[in-house]
Amino acid sequence: MITVSSLTKSRAHVRVLEEVSLAGAEGTVTALVGPSGSGKSTLLRCLNGLETFDAGSITVAGHRLEPGPHSPGLLERLRRDVGMVFQQFNLFAHLSAVDNVALAPRVVLGMSVDESRVRGLDLLDRVGLRSFANARPATLSGGQQQRVAIARALAMRPRVMLFDEPTSALDPAMTAEVMDVIVELAQAGQTMVVVTHDHGFARRAATRVVELEAGRIARQGAAADVL
């Protein structure tokens, strides 16, 4: 489902990623750990084409990314199959919770307003927020916002989900409610890559743990071995 081979990326003459290779089979959970600035976010953002890279290649959900210009529409097609959840939630500020979730199915998949709304409500139900369907993001707590953001990413039925420190901006109580949702997803067989500092979560849910250090893979293996 995910194959990264010899990925190398520089930013202003600084190597951010060097010869990174890893693989994630369907239904596995890969935890990306490592100190701050080690390149975890950069690697994750390469996986859905938000960042470009200099050498190596990526295959994710059947789409292949290489350095240099992409064929038109490749990124859009890839991103339909690869959802992402950000540390800062990035919910659409002008839309209600349900409209946040329903937007991409309607705009990208061409669903009708009613159809996309039904899907939105279902997903809000799944993250326990159906009663907040009409609330604006600004009126929700951080934990609630992140759960809406997860529902929003799931609305495209992605084959792979990427999480970039999904709980770092949350207090412990809210961290738990978001982590529960992610663990549930993992148990349901969703393929995912999760950047996290939470070793408890890695032990509980991760199939594999990959540790980055200064842009290189320091260690990888089963959670019990790496951590």
Partner 1 sequence: MKCLLCAVLLVPALTSATVAADLDKVVSRGELVWAADQEGGGPHVFPDPADPRQLTGFEVDLAALVAEELGVKARFQQGQWDRLPLLLGGTADCVINGIELTPDRQRDYHCSRPYFAYSLQLLARRDGPIDTLAKLASPGPGGRWRVGVLTGSAAESVMRSRTDLEIDVIGYDGTIDSLEQVSTGVLDAAVMDDCIFTFYADRFRRLRTVERPFEGGFYTILTARDTPQLSAAIDAAIGRLIADGRLKALYDHWDLAGRQQMLLLRDAAEIPVARRKSLGELCRDTLPLLLKAAGMTILLSCLAFPLAVGIGLAVAVGRMHGPAWLRPLLTGYVEVLRGTPLMLQLYAIFFLLPKIGLALPALVAAIVGLALNYSAYESEIYRAGLKAVPPGQFEASLALGLSKWQALRHVLVPQAVRIVMPPVTSDFIALFKDTSVCSAITIVELTKRYSVLALSTGRIVELAIVTALLYLCMSWPLALLSRWFERRLERPAGGSMAEG
Ligand X SMILES: Nc1ncnc2c1ncn2[C@@H]1O[C@H](COP(=O)(O)OP(=O)(O)O)[C@@H](O)[C@H]1O
**Residues of this chain that bind partner 1 (CB under 8 A):** 48, 50, 75-77, 79-80, 83-84, 86, 88, 90-96, 98-99, 103-104, 106-108, 113, 133-136, 138-139, 149, 152-153, 155-156
Q: Which is nearer to partner 1, 178 or 226 (CB)?
A: 178
Task: Report the Cα 26 to chain-centroid distance in Å.
Answer: 15
Retrieve residue 27's tokens: 């239904």
Long-range contacts of 74-77 (CB under 8 A, 24+ apart): 74/49, 75/48, 75/49, 76/108
| Out of 30, 38, 96, 145, the residue judged to bind ligand X by CB under 6 A | 38
- Minimum distance of partner 1 from residue 19's CB (angstroms): 26
Q: Which is nearer to partner 1, 120 or 143 (CB)?
A: 120
For ligand X, which residue of 4, 33, 40, 79 counts as binding (CB under 6 A)? 40
Q: Distance from CA of residue 147 to its chain's centroid?
A: 13
The reply to whether 30 sits near ligand X by the rule CB under 6 A is: no
Among 22, 28, 33, 41, binds ligand X (CB under 6 A): 41
Which listed range, 38-46, 54-62, 69-77, 202-210, lies at the site for ligand X (CB under 6 A)? 38-46
Q: Which of residues 8-67 bind Mg ion (CB under 5 A)?
A: 41
42 binds, among Mg ion, ligand X, partner 1, none (CB under 5 to 8 A by kind): ligand X
For residues 160 and 50, what is the distance between their CA atoms, to the nearest angstrom?
15
Give min distance, CB of 29 to partner 1, in A. Answer: 19
Contact 159, 61 (CB under 8 A): yes
* Six token digits for residue 197: 């500092």
- Chain residues binding ligand X by CB under 6 A are 11, 16, 34, 36-42
